[in-house]
Amino acid sequence: MTKRLTDDGGHSAVEVRGLVKHYGATKALDGVDLDVRQGTVLGVLGPNGAGKTTLVRVLSTLIAPDAGSARVAGYDVLRQPRQLRRVIGLTGQYASVDEKLSGRENLYMIGRLLDLSSKDAKARADELLERFSLTEAAKRPAQEYSGGMRRRLDLAASMIGNPSVLYLDEPTTGLDPRTRNEVWAEVQRMVAEGATVLLTTQYMEEAEQLANELTVIDRGRVIANGKVAELKAKVGGRTLVIRPTDPAALTAMAAAITEAGLDGVAGATVDAKDEAVNVPILSDEQLTAVVGLLGTRGFSIAHIGTHLPSLDEVFLAITGKKTDDGAGQPSGDGNGGGDDNGSDTRSTRVDNEVEVAA
């Protein structure tokens, strides 16, 4: 089995500087800089067409950039593509398995292409089939698999070589919640074992569940980055949620807060559906001031709490677009389709030929 390379010096596993890529007149990447620390997950967010998939394809040597540089696992993307392909794994937006081969044969073939011995390729295939709950279907042709099973097989194939860096380009698109959770668990297991993951996704829950840090890309440019909590704080702090004992007091309560002109408190709004008054705040002092005001005005409070902005709200505030804009459509990056080269070719390409005999 290919041994996973690790970066014991604490350097970035992925380093990108000034990456530029054009498709005709469209600039899919416009000076992208990013770093992914060894043993972490970087979530790359952005609306459809933002440049996420193009970034993944450049970093996996499927296409060449027009300018800029990138190093992955210590290898230069442009100068050392063959070495790089042996230490990375890629799962694209669509399952790319051989439909005529069985699940076990697909995984065995990838293992042999990665120079695993026949014995090790079979053992690794069986290990991953079990991890992804595909053992019972191992001998069936992939064309008989459901969509979710194909995605799981595709993910397993990307992990055959025990990659030190794994690219997941919207890996759970179209999966049911149970299968999605299985994929998340496997990603977390790989990271715990030392792998580094670059994850593109439009699922905010997925980003919060898996990513140590986030990078937001729009129109080919990085427009924000940081930890989830940091991005939420940049968007506008917390919302104070107050529910009066008597819902009939909602309007009067909101008016009292707005008219009081408390320092730094812009005002309050009524959420009739939730029977609550919402007050944007930036500090604990403002929270204390609002609660004190309501006490002096004689309002009876049934519940009070604070709410951080959701990642969906953060995304909307940063990009001006909802996370589901264009959902269900290929997220091509300006080249007229979901794929740069007409197919979702796996990055672990080598020049060998093998006989499938799993």
Phi, psi of 325 (to 5 degrees): -60, 120
Could you tell me which CATH class the domain 238-307 is placed in? alpha beta
DSSP strand pairing (221-226 vs 213-218): antiparallel
Q: Are 20 and 68 in contact (CB under 8 A)?
A: yes
Q: State how far the Cα of 356 lies from the Cα of 143, in Å rounded to an integer.
A: 17
Instruction: State how far the alpha carbon of 108 is from the alpha carbons of 82, 124, 139, 189, 204, in Å.
Output: 21, 8, 12, 22, 34
Instruction: State how far the alpha carbon of 308 is from the alpha carbons of 16, 76, 131, 267, 322, in Å.
Output: 31, 40, 36, 17, 18
Note if the pTM is more than 0.75: no
Q: Which of 47, 63, 48, 58 is nearest to 14 (CA)?
A: 58
Asked, colleague to colleague, whether 12-232 and 238-307 share their fold, the answer is: no
Q: Are 211 and 228 in contact (CB under 8 A)?
A: yes
pLDDT in tens, the chain (358 residues): 444 444 444 578 999 999 999 999 999 999 999 999 999 999 999 888 889 999 999 999 999 999 999 999 999 999 999 999 999 999 877 667 899 999 999 999 999 998 999 999 999 999 999 988 899 999 999 999 988 888 889 989 999 998 999 999 988 887 888 888 888 888 898 899 889 999 998 888 888 889 999 999 999 999 989 888 788 777 666 888 999 999 999 999 999 999 998 887 878 999 998 899 999 887 888 889 999 999 999 999 999 988 777 777 777 777 776 655 443 333 445 444 443 433 343 433 333 344 444 4
Residue 140: CB atoms within 10 A of its CB come to: 14
Predicted confidence at residue 92, as pLDDT, reads: 78
- H or E stretch including 82? helix 81-85
Query: What ranges do the domains of the chain cover?
Result: 12-232, 238-307
Please calculate the CA angle 98-99-104 and round it to the nearest 5 degrees. Answer: 70
DSSP strand pairing (221-226 vs 276-281): unpaired
Which residue(s) pair with 141 in the sheet? Answer: 102
- H or E stretch including 115? none
Predicted confidence at residue 324, as pLDDT, reads: 55
DSSP letter for each residue of 2-61: PPPP--TT--EEEEEEEEEEEETTEEEEEEEEEEEETT-EEEEE--TTSSHHHHHHHHTT
In 132-272, which residue ranges form alpha helices assigned H by DSSP? 147-158, 177-192, 204-210, 228-236, 250-260
Predicted confidence at residue 353, as pLDDT, reads: 40
Predicted confidence at residue 10, as pLDDT, reads: 53
Predicted confidence at residue 337, as pLDDT, reads: 40
Predicted confidence at residue 72, as pLDDT, reads: 97
Beta strands of 237-345 (E only): which ranges?
A: 238-244, 269-271, 276-281, 301-307
Name the residue type at position 351: D
Which fold is adopted by the domain 12-232?
Rossmann fold (3.40.50)
Predicted confidence at residue 301, as pLDDT, reads: 93
